């Protein structure tokens, strides 16, 4: 059984620091997640992040703690924390990064939906992540 964590957060990155920060996050994530047997996908809309991580329980707990205390974002809102029988992602990827009002509104809308209907918000966020990710959708979505 895999442990999963799905969240949305608000970027704390000033515009002129974004590109370098995203590069640094991708670099550390590629190697660290592989070592922890964690897969998933990250989206950056310019002002919000969304991410799914999936893997062994202790690995996900370690990463979750590191990510939550990272000052490059704030308001880390858990959309789903649970378990799954199969991975949604074969590897770890930056599924989308850029300034997109459309993606940003989607993330805002899903964050609001989470309050009313947590299951629907979680389904919708997984769809957004898999649709953006070339390596996504290996199991079911
Ligand atoms: C939005 C966001 C997503 C991140 N995702 C990951 C990730 O998937 N894997 C990872 O190792 N670090 C990720 N990081 C970086 C971690 O927060 C942390 O800086 C890094 O793992 C080093 O851990 P440490 O601070 O405990 O040394 C992310 C940071 C941010 C802001």
- Assess whether the C-beta atom of 43 lies below 6 angstroms from ligand 1: no
Give a yes or no: residue 141 inside a domain. no
Asked whether residue 137 is assigned to any structural domain, the reply reads no
Say what the pLDDT of residue 139 is: 55
Strands 73-84 and 92-97: unpaired
> Distance, CA 25 to ligand 1 centroid (Å)?
6
Is 13 domain-assigned? yes
Task: Give the domain range for residue 17.
Answer: 2-132
Q: What pLDDT was estimated at residue 52? A: 97
Residue nearest to atom 7 of ligand 1 (CA): 29
Tell me how many domains the chain contains.
1
Residue 140: pLDDT above 60?
Answer: no
Q: What pLDDT does residue 128 have?
A: 94
Q: Over the stretch 58-116, which tens digit does the pLDDT of each residue have? A: 999 999 999 999 999 999 999 999 999 999 999 998 988 989 999 999 999 999 999 99
pLDDT band at 17 (very low <50, low <70, confident <90, very high): very high
Nearest Cα to Cα of residue 81 among 49, 128, 136, 122: 122
The reply to whether ligand 1 has any atom less than 6 angstroms from the CB of 70 is: yes
- What's the CATH number where 54 sits? 3.30.70.100
Ligand 1 geometric centre to CA of 27 (Å): 10
Question: What interhelical angle do 101-116 and 118-132 show, nearest 10?
Answer: 150
Render pLDDT for 119-137 as a digit per residue (tens, 0 to 9): 999 999 999 999 988 655 5
Structure tokens of 11? 């970027």
Taking the centre of ligand 1 as the mean of its atom positions, its distance from the CA of residue 41, in whole angstroms, is 13
């Amino acid at each position: 059984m895999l442990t999963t964590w799905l969240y949305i957060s608000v970027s704390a990155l000033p515009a002129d620091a974004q590109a370098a920060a995203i590069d640094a996050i991708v670099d550390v994530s590629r190697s660290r997640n592989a070592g922890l047997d964690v897969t998933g996908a990250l989206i950056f809309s310019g002002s919000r992040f969304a991410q799914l991580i999936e893997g062994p329980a202790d690995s996900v707990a370690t990463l979750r703690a590191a990510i939550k205390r990272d000052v490059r974002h704030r308001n880390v809102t858990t959309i789903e924390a649970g378990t799954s029988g199969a991975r949604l992602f074969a590897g770890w990827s930056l599924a989308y990064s850029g300034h997109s009002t459309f993606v940003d509104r989607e993330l805002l809308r899903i964050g609001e939906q989470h309050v009313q209907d947590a299951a629907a918000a979680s389904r919708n966020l997984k769809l957004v992540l898999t649709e953006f990710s070339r390596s996504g959708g290996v199991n079911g979505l």
